[in-house]
Structure 1
Amino acid sequence: MNPEKPLPVDTGRGFSVNYRQRWLYSRHDPTSLALLNCQAAPIHEDTLYLVCSPCLCYGLTALAQRLPAGSAIVTIETDEQLMRLSLETSQDWRDSYPTIHFLRSVDPTAIINHVDSLSSFKRIIPVSISAGRQLDEETYDRIEKDLALHLATRTRNRIASVRMGRLWLKNIFANLGGLDWSRVSDPPRDSRPVLVAGAGPSLQASLPFIRENRAGLHVMACDTAIGCLVQAGIMPDSLVCLEGQIHNIHDFLPLNRRPVHAFVDLSAHPASFHTLGGPCTVLLSRWTENSLIGRLTDGGLPIWPVPALGSVGVLAIHLAGRFLAGDIYITGLDFAFPPGLTHCPGSPVSYFEKARESRLDRQRYSWRNNWRQDTFCAGRGLRSTPVLEMYAASARELLTDLQTGERPRRLFDLRASRGLDLGLNLGQDVPAPSHEALKCPVQDSGVTPEAGGAGLEAAALARFLVAQEADRIDQLRRILQGEAPAAALPGLLLELDYLYSHFPDAERVGGLHLDALRRLALEARYWLGRLDWAGRSTT
């Protein structure tokens, strides 16, 4: 039997389906397993229940009846015939269950966009109700993986925004006012292969390769990896800084203000810009979609928007693939560590450990991290954490895109099996840069004599943008204090959503709850003071 269309078959205990020489349900009791899986699914708020290939939709209505507010069921079907079967099966009850959504697509991006339009889900729970998934298992696996990574990243960014959003905003306004805009330049242009160096333990083992091929490599260092490289006599060509707190200033001390092109996020601590002595490319991470980030990226300032990747190592991979055209070598981006050694020698962590150690107490920080409650065995004698594992998944996704994109890039792993899998064939033989790369001229976009005028224009524009934000916030303050009519309040709340996006209950501001508006009034007074300082700094 090989029907071209799905063939429902009455088994006496319900209908099964035969399609493409495969039974999609049991031939003896078709409904039991689907109903059992729907009944066993754990119930949580703000959860996406993903059903791949729903076929006859057994159990979906029972699951929908158990869902709390904020949760929904999304069914995905990649086969047109099976999609038609699902829609015909559900046509009598589909309108009565608005939390069940049927999608026919093979594009993970389209599915993610549709899911985002439904609600802000925090997690995904797959539920299997048929064997239809096995007909296109690779596609369904990719969709589920991409959805899970997207929701995890969005949830992580939301948590980070609540914890760090106020600090990042403070840094953005301080940098708008205090940055020497004459130092700001475009990303460097370099036709050599690029080596992305993180501060993981594998960097130490890669130093001989880097020294031997230094002339043929553009070395892009994550901030914490600078000390290890400089100690080995390797001056990086560029560095990447993302940290919003002041702790990472120690990373730049080995440079001794020697000029190195820096990729620095506008939300980084202001001391990062002041400590570095060379040209810089200003980035702006979209850690949340608020109106301020949109105005800054569209406002004419020399700022390069980048996705919110969370990890400076993952951001370095993004920058290497986006701005530099050569092959990419990866080292130090381990996202795991051997017991007692979380960072490479020469990093600030290594120096602090040595400064505190005694005859009976050594490597306390590294060993303590090794046995933290959230660490787990990652294989090959390595330890990792869920956060590091999530960053590794983001890096793996970026590297896969670089390998299979419109302009495929050659990628090489120098970590020698010392990190989590990034899809780069751990332990492979790594070729040295080609002779052509050794002859390639370096074309760095450093600060030119003409950059002074552009810097003055950028400083004036930054001053204008700061003044505009101050006017908006002052108007909001006057409305909240009863000094101005409230007709403009809804529009101002949309324009100034960044003032309360870090509230754990930010939705109460949109609901005009009095307690939230009182907190917002305090925020408005605080930020007026910060913007007044930033405006005076740009004059």
Structure 2
Amino acid sequence: MSCNDTPCTVEARQGVSVLYRGRYLFSRYEPQKPLQKTLETFTILPESLVLCLSPVLPFTVDLIREKIEKEAIPGCFILCAETDPVLYDFYIKQKQNSSPPNTPIQHSPVQKSGEKSISCPDAVCPDAAVLFKKEEEIARLLDGEDFSPRYSGSPLPPIGFFRRVLVLEASGAAAMYADFYKALFSYAQNSIAVFWKNRMTLVRLGRLFSRNVLKNAARIEARSASSVPLIPASLNRPILVAGAGPSLDALIPFIKRYAQKLYIIAVDAAFRPLYDKGIRPDALVTVESQVISQRSLIGARRSGIPIIADMCARSANLRITEGSLSFFISEYAKLPLLERIKKALPGLPVFPPLGSVGLAAVETALFLRAEGTSVFTCGLDFSYPAGVSHCKESPSQKEGHASSGRLMPAGNPASAFRDGAFFIEGKGGTHLACDPALHSYAELFSARYKNAANIYDLSLSGAKTGLPFLTEKEAGGLIEREAGRLPERAADCPAEIGAASVKREDSVKAFYIEEKKRLYTLRAALTGESPLSTEALKALLEECSYLYIHFPDGHRGASLSQSFLNRVRSEIDIFIKDTEGATSLASLDG
């Protein structure tokens, strides 16, 4: 085979170069010198994932490791990324034939964030090589997915081990796949940034999430007549998902015209804008865990409107409408508690932690719709004109009008010019205010739903969602064709549902008994009343990780240090009270 088909080593003036596809991947004179020069001015910070693009020869990794060890930079990991299978096999073969100056220290297997801590040795910086077929695969790798046999080297630490991603082009082959590696770096950087953003959210709200989950699980029982499971592919009516963005106002007449032929799923903040115009949503979706979310449901008391809620949602809000209640669970962290709940409640829909109630509403619609059924979205703007952040009659708009006066007009123009805000080009070339959170939701929305079948955008304004746009006339024609084509909901067998509910009630009761037992055992161990061995204590702490997931260092897992145990001890009584009270629905009023 020629050097066009397979890499060939070529003797250089000082060392060895590689010829592949008619080009030299290293200098023909001093192969190591370009990378050495780059590393002289390259700053590597502690706790960095060093992305070495297309290493080809082992000396590239050795030079990077030499710099890290010489400067005693702690917590780094060298990840060699390759997308050419031929070059990947060539690198692995060259590495096996070479004699590395240091023997890598083996780590424990890849760990999920928040499960077990892992440390990078100071003496030797570990490395690994991965063959990537798609750019987004690096995000799955960082999240702990197994990539064998395309992964060779030391196991990768959990994503919470890294603070940043640094990138180095190790050979000329990196330029051959420049766009691929640029996207690969972007995915890696975004994954780590999202992890730390989520960590900040967990530090602030992690305890509240876990408390709400423990309270809400008790509501899913057979004796609670209002508890209704979500049944996949059960809706044959066209579904409309309504957000509370400014674009909703223009579509109110359209929604009112077709309300009887649509199944309307509204985010909680869109309840009043629709209800005040004579439109009764078929279901409200809520995910907010804090008390401020209750303002969205002002006027909804005893309306009987069904609520579809995240298990993390504020428990008190879920009883306001006195309608049926359905749950899904979003995995806000990798917790054994959530696994136990999923086991106790088989069939409970599991959604990814999307962060936005609008995305959760779309996810719910796609879960419920029957095959071939259309989903329409409106009011999911993820941006706003300066001064108008939500549609009319929304809580923020009403509060703005209520507090306005001669010296303080209605509206909130300051929100478009606060720190971090910026303007984007929206639909139709309009310029709209946005912020990093809204922008990330818009990008996630586009990435997740733009390729989904039969989902359409009806809003003329707002951030670009990637969905096909339908005019009111086009949407109306589609609704007319689909409405009444099939029964609204597939027939269910009452006997089967009743039997499943009784079984689920028993599972929920067993779940709470076991959870209280864990907490009492852990409290007795920490108070010295009934000590446990080191191994047993560590295992029990990991089972009850919701007690410390909100600690600033909670993602590193359980620690047996006295300061850590003292902090855990202060949390136990709060959760014991929640588990004891949760089994009685009457005790869930706060």
Specify the TM-score bucket, using the shorter chain as the normaliser.
0.7 to 0.9
Match of 1:466 in 2: 512
* 1:329 counterpart (364, 376, 381): 376
* 1:278 counterpart letter in structure 2: G
Q: Distance in 2 between matches of 1:367 and 1:60?
A: 52
Aligned to 1:296: 341
Q: Which residue of 2 aligns with 1:70?
A: 75
Indicate if the aligned counterparts of 2:241 and 2:377 stay in contact, CA closer than 8 A: yes
> Aligned in 2, Cα 1:342/1:15: closer, same or farther, shift over 3 Å?
farther
C-alpha offsets along residues 379-438 of structure 1, whole Å, 9 cap, x if unaligned? 3422222222222222122114xx2xxxx503322233521x332367989831524212
**How far off is 1:165 after superposition?**
1.0
The answer to whether the Cα contact below 8 Å between 1:193 and 1:217 also exists between their aligned partners in 2 is yes
Matched position secondary structure for 2:386: coil
After TM superposition, the structure 1 stretch with the greater mean CA deviation from structure 2, 182-191 or 442-451, is: 442-451
The one-letter amino acid paired with 1:475 is T
> 2:193 is matched by which residue type in structure 1?
A
State which drifts further: 179-188 or 16-25: 16-25
* SS in structure 1 at match of 2:440: helix
> Is this contact kept in 1: 2:11–2:17, CA < 8 A?
yes
Q: Aligned pair 1:375/2:415, yes or no? A: no
1:239·1:262 contact (CA, 8 Å) conserved in 2?
yes
Structure 2: unaligned runs, 5 residues or longer: 105-123, 145-155
Q: Distance in 2 between matches of 1:37 and 1:210?
A: 60
User: Given that residues 54 and 81 in structure 2 are in contact (C-alpha distance below 8 angstroms), is that contact kept between their aligned partners in structure 1?
Assistant: yes
Offset of 1:295 from its aligned partner?
A: 0.4
Q: Cα distance 1:84–1:429, how it changes in 2: closer, same or farther (>3 A)?
A: farther
Structure 2: distance between partners of 1:79 and 1:275: 58
2:454 is aligned with 1:410: yes
Q: 1:7 & 1:436 partners in 2: Cα distance?
A: 63
The corresponding residue for 1:182 is 225
2:387 is the alignment partner of 1:340: yes
Using the alignment, how far apart are the partners of 2:349 and 2:408 within structure 1? Answer: 45
The answer to whether 1:157 aligns with 2:164 is no
What is the Cα deviation at residue 308 of structure 1?
1.3
Match of 1:83 among 75, 85, 88: 88
Q: Deviations over 1:489-532 (max 9, x none)?
A: 22211221211121112378733101111221222233222322
Question: What's the CA shift string for 1:431-474, capped at 9, x where partnerless?
Answer: 31524212334524899987778666645543332222111111
Asked if structure 1 preserves the Cα contact closer than 8 Å seen for 2:295 and 2:395, the reply is yes
Relative to the length of structure 1, the TM-score reads 0.86
Pick one of 195, 206, 210 that aligns with 1:169: 210
Change (3 A) 1:203 1:269: same
Q: SS state of the match for residue 190, structure 1?
A: coil
What residue in structure 2 maps to residue 123 of structure 1? 164
- Provide the residue aligned with 1:55 in structure 2: 56
8 Å Cα contact 1:317-1:395 kept in structure 2? no
How is 1:202-213 mapped onto 2 (pairs within 5 angstroms)?
202-213=247-258
Cα–Cα, structure 1 residues 510 and 438, in superposed 2: closer, same or farther, change >3 Å?
A: closer
What does the per-residue CA deviation read over 1:192-234, in whole Å, with 9 as the maximum and x for residues that have no partner? 3333222222222333443444444332212112222223333
For 1:114 and 1:385, the matched residues in 2 are separated by 29
Q: Determine whether 1:396 maps to 2:446.
A: yes
Give 1:166 shift. Answer: 0.8
Q: What amino acid maps onto 1:467 in structure 2? A: I
Partner SS, residue 467 of structure 1: helix
Distance in 1 separating the partners of 2:384 and 2:25: 44
Q: Is the 8 A contact 1:199 1:344 kept in 2?
A: yes
Match of 2:580 among 520, 532, 535: 532
Query: Is the contact made by 1:49 and 1:127 (CA closer than 8 Å) also made in structure 2?
Result: yes
Distance in 1 (alpha carbons) for counterparts of 2:237 and 2:181: 38
Q: Aligned-pair distance for 1:98? A: 4.5
Percent of paired sites with the same residue: 26
2: CA distance between counterparts of 1:426 and 1:7? 52
Contact 1:375–1:384, Cα closer than 8 Å, also in 2: yes
Q: Which residue of 1 aligns with 2:246?
A: 201
Q: Which residue identity lines up with residue 522 of structure 2 in the other structure?
A: L
What SS is found at the alignment partner of 1:443? coil
* Bigger mean CA offset, 229-238 vs 70-79: 229-238
1:229-280, Cα deviation, whole Å (9 max, x unpaired)? 2233332222211000121222223545333332201211112211133222
Find out whether 1:102 has 2:129 as its counterpart: yes
1:264 pairs with one of 301, 306, 309: 309
The equivalent residue for 1:92 is: 99
Deviations 1:299-323 (A, max 9, x none): 1366322211111112222222233
**Counterpart secondary structure, 1:221:** strand
Residue 418 to residue 101, structure 1, CA distance change in 2 (3 Å): same
> Greater helix share, 1 or 2?
1
One-letter amino acid matched to 1:288: A
CA distance in 1: counterparts of 2:180 and 2:472, whole angstroms: 31
Q: 1:303 to 1:133 in 2, by over 3 A?
A: same
Tell me which residue corresponds to 2:434: 384
Question: Which runs of structure 2 are paired with 1:503-514 in the superposition (5 Å)?
Answer: 503-506=551-554, 510-514=558-562
1:284/1:303 contact within 8 Å kept? yes
Alignment match, 1:431: 474
SS in 2 for 1:183: coil
User: Are residues 13 and 395 of structure 1, via their aligned partners in 2, closer, same or farther at CA, if it must alter by over 3 Å?
Assistant: farther
Q: Does 1:522 align with 2:570?
A: yes
Between 223-232 and 13-22, the greater mean CA deviation after superposition: 13-22
1:422 equivalent to 2:465? Answer yes
CA contact (8 A) 1:226 1:252 kept: yes
Contact 2:344 2:508 in 1 (8 A): no
Find the residue that maps to 2:344 and give its secondary structure.
Answer: coil
Indicate how the Cα distance of structure 1 residues 87 and 461 shifts in structure 2: closer, same or farther if over 3 A, else same: closer
